[in-house]
Structure 1
Amino acid sequence: MGNRMNVLAAGPGGVPSPSLVPPPPQPVPPSPPSPPKPGDSPTSVLAEPSKFADNPGTFEDLHKKCKDVFPQVFEGGKLIISKALSSHFQISHTLSMSTFQPSGYRFGATYVGSKQFSPQEGFPILVGDLDPSGNLNANMVHQFTENIRSKFVTQIQDGKWMVSQLTTDYKGTDFTGSLTIGNPDIVKESGILVAHYLQSVRPNLALGAELLYQYGQQIPGGELAVFSLAGRLSGDDWQFSTNISPSVGGLHACYYHKINNEMQVGVELETSLRMQESLATVGYQIDLPSANLVFRGQVDTNWCISAMLEKKLQPLPFTLALSAYANQVKSQFRFGIGLIVG
């Protein structure tokens, strides 16, 4: 249920949106602290082995490990030219040609601030892209304190606000609580509220719940509430996560396994008892660092097959991407080729 509010929806025809988006630039991290010398006594409880569970992350990332294994295929041709103007600012130019997905030119920009709570992250983060027609996609993320982080997502299409979503996360020592407000409209009296809670019960076990409330004239009865339960069990190289919605008869389960440093697999099951439908997907990822190559593939029970290959053309700053999608039932076949420069 956590992905219900995701505005980065899949493209037409069941083909997900492209993954050919260059990562945002990161500020230069500070030098790591010197390791303790042998025989030194710890000065704080943080130096001792933890007896308690760590923060479980957000409910939204419950199935992230499994989802990252699946290929994000695209169709047609795509050219991305990116340029880091500094350690905080990056721009990109994207030219795409497709039959099933929006084509044309888009200008993108990414800004990463200098406020840091860890060497790997800087805030605020501003990411956006704009096409010549004025259609805008924008994401803004800022961490106000070590515990509070907010994210705002918006989409403007044809001069209208299609999506506006604000999420605030509070991260405690062993829990995370989140509140999301989506598409609020005071005039039409409509909107969506989603509350998440995820608690680490043990170092390898997290349990949580989700409450989705939607109101508006287009909803039968004027309002709708859906309650879900979730859990995640983790090992050294595997993870099982699931969320269940008893009121609507929904089940979403994922299993991720890292076989070795080169290969990862993921299995996803989505079931709706109300619709009497189920969809199972098996995906895998192969990393070959010696060949600068990453290959992802998947197949599902609807006889849809997807694959994507990414190859770095060193020593040139180019990345070549090849994508393929086949729906055996509908006899649909789509192919894509992309090049990232920078």
Structure 2
Amino acid sequence: MADLSSALSFLTDNSVAAVIKDAYGSFSERRAALGLPNPGTVDNISREVQKEVLLSNFMFTGFRADLTKVFGMSPLFRISHAFSMTSQGNLPPYAFSAMYGTPKVFMQGNIGSDGALAAVGNYRWNNSLVTKTNAQIMPGAAQGLLQIDNDYTGSDFSASLKAFNPSFLEGGLTGIFVGSYLQSITPGLALGFEALWQRQGLNSRPEAALSYCARYKGADWIASAQLQAQGVFNAAYWKKLSDKVEAGVDMNLQLAPNPAASLMGGPSRDGTTAVGAKYDFRASTFRAQIDSAGKLSCLLEKRIAMPISLTFAGEIDQVKQQAKIGLAVSLEIAGEELMEQQEKAEAQGAIPPPF
């Protein structure tokens, strides 16, 4: 072992390695002196607009009721029963889920009455590295979904490596692999890229694509843009109007020609734009959105009391002359110890009572 170490010492004990080490050390010191913030991840580059203001992740139709029992906060353990009635069939009539979480481990499982099974497991190796796994099995589907993510968060950058259904069973590597990197250039500007490599089977040729993204954060506004390899351009703008009001604009433009539209004699490029606003009150949240396709949507989340909350969703499609509504009732039952902590916090004014 000593002979091997001495034989390989020439790789580090030479003038070229010393110059590279000094240059990297000097670069690291200058970058640390700038005090650049972490820009977040590429997946959440437009989080304030797409996941907070707009209704893409909140909209539903029909009736839904959720019953949740919380057993503790450290560690966190809860079970929930979900009942739904909808004409679209995107939700099962009944679903049972369980969740367990600690500062290092997070696990969640969900099984529906239609046979669909979903499981999530995250493990935090340290303050910077997190491994996330997601598995889904759908009834009648030829293949399930297995997703493995590894996210690394640095002081002024974020890197991620994802794998969708990776496999070596066919004698070679198949699946979808995505790598992304986002780096802060200035206190407000961050630039990054996302690389994709996929191969459905050994009898098909592998495909690769590269996308670029940028994000700028001002005092009370955030702008982001993404240019994907498929010719899709996405831009988002978020603005904080006051302490309780936020607004956002999201634009999606197809830059590459559309062969089907060209053959029909129509336009070869299309796009959509959505404008939304979010209002936060003491015990409720209201979201409204309108897009260029003629859809007007709104959603109201209201906390009636500590364990009970109501959600109302509505959508009007002016082009198709259709209307959809949704109503959800959520009941969260906490343990005695947790209820005592919440009652003390409310008595001290930490939790505002409903208006």
When the two structures are superposed, what TM-score results if normalisation uses the length of structure 2? Answer: 0.75
2:96 maps to a residue whose letter is F
- Asked whether 1:97 is paired with 2:85, we answer yes
Percent sequence identity is 30
CA distance in 1, matches of 2:302, 2:114: 33
| Number of the residue aligned with 2:72 | 86
- Write the distance in 2 (CA, Å) between the matches of 1:332 and 1:159: 30
Q: Which residue, out of 44, 47, 56, partners 1:64?
A: 47
Please state if 1:145 is matched with 2:131.
no
CA distance in 2 between counterparts of 1:128 and 1:111 reads 9
Counterpart pick for 1:230 among 213, 221, 224: 213
Distance 1:272 1:164 in 2: 29
CA contact (8 A) 1:134 1:159 kept: no
User: What is the match of residue 296 of structure 1?
Assistant: 287
Partner in structure 2 of residue 177 of structure 1? 159
Q: What TM-score results when the alignment is normalised by the length of structure 1?
A: 0.78
- The answer to whether the Cα contact below 8 Å between 1:135 and 1:159 also exists between their aligned partners in 2 is no
Partner of 1:76: 62
SS in structure 1 opposite 2:207? strand
Any runs of at least 4 consecutive aligned residues in structure 1 with deviations exceeding 6 A, and if so which? none
- Find the aligned partners of 2:325 and 2:196 in 1 and give their Cα distance: 37
2:135 paired residue among 154, 158, 166: 154
Q: Which structure carries more strand by proportion?
A: 1
Q: Which residue of 2 aligns with 1:191?
A: 175
Aligned residue pairs, count: 281
> How far off is 1:240 after superposition?
0.3
Matches within 5 A, 1:178-257: 178-187=160-169, 190-217=174-201, 222-245=205-228, 247-257=229-239
Q: CA distance change for structure 1 residues 218 and 284 in 2, over 3 Å: closer, same or farther?
A: farther
Q: Any idea what SS the aligned residue of 2:144 has?
A: strand
Q: 1:202-238: per-residue Cα shift (whole Å, max 9, x none)?
A: 111111001111212599x622222111110001211
Alignment partners' CA distance in 2, 1:130 and 1:79: 16
Distance 1:102 1:175 in 2: 38
Moved more, 250-259 or 124-133: 124-133
**For the pair shown, which has the larger CA radius of gyration, 1 or 2?**
2
Are positions 1:336 and 2:329 aligned together? no
Q: Does the Cα contact within 8 Å between 2:315 and 2:324 map onto a contact in 1? A: yes
> Displacement, 1:128?
2.1
- How large is the Cα RMSD of the aligned pairs? 2.0
> In the TM superposition, what whole-angstrom CA distance separates every residue of 1:35-74 from its partner, at most 9, and x where no partner exists?
xxxxxxxxxxxxxx97410222211111101111012210
What residue number does 2:95 align with? 106
Runs (5+) with no aligned partner, structure 1: 1-48, 114-121
> Counterparts of 1:315-326 in structure 2 under 5 Å?
316-326=306-316
Alignment partners' CA distance in 1, 2:153 and 2:195: 18
Cα distance in structure 1, aligned partners of 2:239 and 2:97: 35
Residue of structure 1 equivalent to 2:28: none
> d(CA) in 1 for partners of 2:244 and 2:157?
32
Q: Which residue of 1 aligns with 2:248?
A: 266
**DSSP 3-state at the match of 2:48:** helix
